[in-house]
Amino acid sequence: MRLILTLEYDGTPFRGWAAQPGLPTIEAALRQALGETFASVENLAVAGRTDTGVHALGQVASVDVEDGPPPERAAAALTARLPDEITVFSSGEAPAGFHARHSARSRSYRYRLFTRATIELIYKLQPWIPDREAHWTQTLEVPLSGVP
């Protein structure tokens, strides 16, 4: 059965999505949790990979699994086995032909640029507080001269 999973994570302690020998990655942590939860795990795919330290609020993955919890309980079962920085907040049986990367219709990214010498304290404490009201509809031009 193919599952669709939606994840969010604080990427600070990870070296990105893609598995790398000897380094902590989101993919490696998810694969380990999947292996502990299901008897068979194949074809893990993600809508888009993230780089070192990058966070995600709605990362979609698909994976073929056998012999484990029902699709609607997979999110809780996986989250219980993942590091605290990673949560699978929804899971379900994927529609026929679904593939996280190939079926994605869009991707969106949010960049926070700090132009002062120090980062706002709140972002040091929680660097990815969702700001669902901010949507850029035009090109952002930031002058870099004079920025320490």
- Indicate which residues carry an active-site annotation: 51
Q: How far apart are CA 138 and CA 142, in angstroms?
A: 13
Q: What angle do CA 7, 25, 81 make, to 5 degrees?
A: 55
> Which pair of tokens denotes residue 7?
């994840």
Q: What is the CA radius of gyration of the chain?
A: 17
Q: How far apart are CA 114 and CA 110, in angstroms?
A: 13
